[in-house]
């Protein structure tokens, strides 16, 4: 045996405190980065491919580089809050300014889900993301083209290969992903239904 009796007693108090809090598993030296990469692989089976792609981008390009070095068991709200503040000021990957509050709110959602799962697996006693002030997101009313603007857009696109997608978008309100996912079987020319 190595160490002092006082060290063993302190470790026993820590373990008993963890048991009282419901933490029976031990994340040990697992870092936030390691957990996020493990979680994103697990999420592949629980979310749509597009959602997984977006989560992976957020995890790999933003969360892991900024928070990944912390031990999972030592991640505190102050670390997360500091990261959000920095991201709002200078979080763009190209180094040219900050990210929008909406973007940082997406990061918060993803990190919160990952830490909620870590909590459920008893890797952490509490989810530190629950105690963080989220950026205020101002919801702006959607802006649409006027009839005149739509007519000018159609005239400008009339000789390009984008004319048909633009007409379809203006007529239906499809989003870009929906438009790009259209297949011939989704179109009924006889009834004029998409």
The pLDDT value recorded for residue 71 is 95
Q: What pLDDT score does 187 carry?
A: 87
DSSP state letter for 68: T
CA dihedral 74, 80, 37, 48 (to 10 degrees): 140
Tokens of 89: 């000021």
pLDDT above 90: percentage of residues in the chain: 66
Calculate the alpha carbon distances from 94 to 61, 65, 98, 106, 165 in Å: 12, 14, 10, 19, 31
pLDDT tens digits along 28-84:
789 999 999 999 999 999 999 999 999 999 999 999 999 999 999 999 999 999 999
Distance between CA atoms of residues 55 and 113, nearest Å:
10
Q: Which of 17, 12, 18, 13 is nearest to 124 (CA)?
A: 18
Q: Alpha helices of 44-162 — where are they, by DSSP H?
A: 49-58, 64-67, 77-90, 101-120, 147-157
| pTM (predicted TM-score) | 0.66
């Amino acid at each position: 045996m190595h160490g002092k009796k006082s060290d063993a007693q302190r470790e026993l108090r820590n373990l008993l405190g963890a048991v009282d809090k419901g933490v029976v598993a031990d994340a040990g030296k697992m870092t936030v980065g390691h957990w996020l990469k493990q979680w994103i692989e697990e999420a592949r089976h629980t979310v749509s491919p597009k959602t997984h792609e977006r989560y992976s981008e957020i995890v790999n390009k933003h969360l892991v580089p900024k928070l990944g070095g912390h031990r999972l068991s030592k991640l505190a709200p102050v670390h997360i809050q500091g990261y959000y503040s920095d991201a709002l000021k200078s979080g763009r990957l190209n180094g040219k300014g900050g990210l929008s509050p909406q973007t940082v709110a997406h990061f918060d959602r993803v990190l919160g889900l990952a830490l909620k799962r870590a909590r459920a697996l008893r890797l952490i006693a509490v989810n530190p993301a629950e105690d963080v002030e989220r950026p205020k997101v101002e919801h702006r009313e959607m802006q649409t083209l006027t009839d005149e603007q739509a007519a000018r857009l159609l005239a400008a696109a009339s000789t390009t290969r984008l004319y048909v997608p633009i007409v379809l978008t203006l007529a239906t309100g499809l989003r870009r992903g929906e438009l790009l996912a259209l297949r011939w079987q989704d179109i009924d020319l006889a009834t004029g239904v998409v």
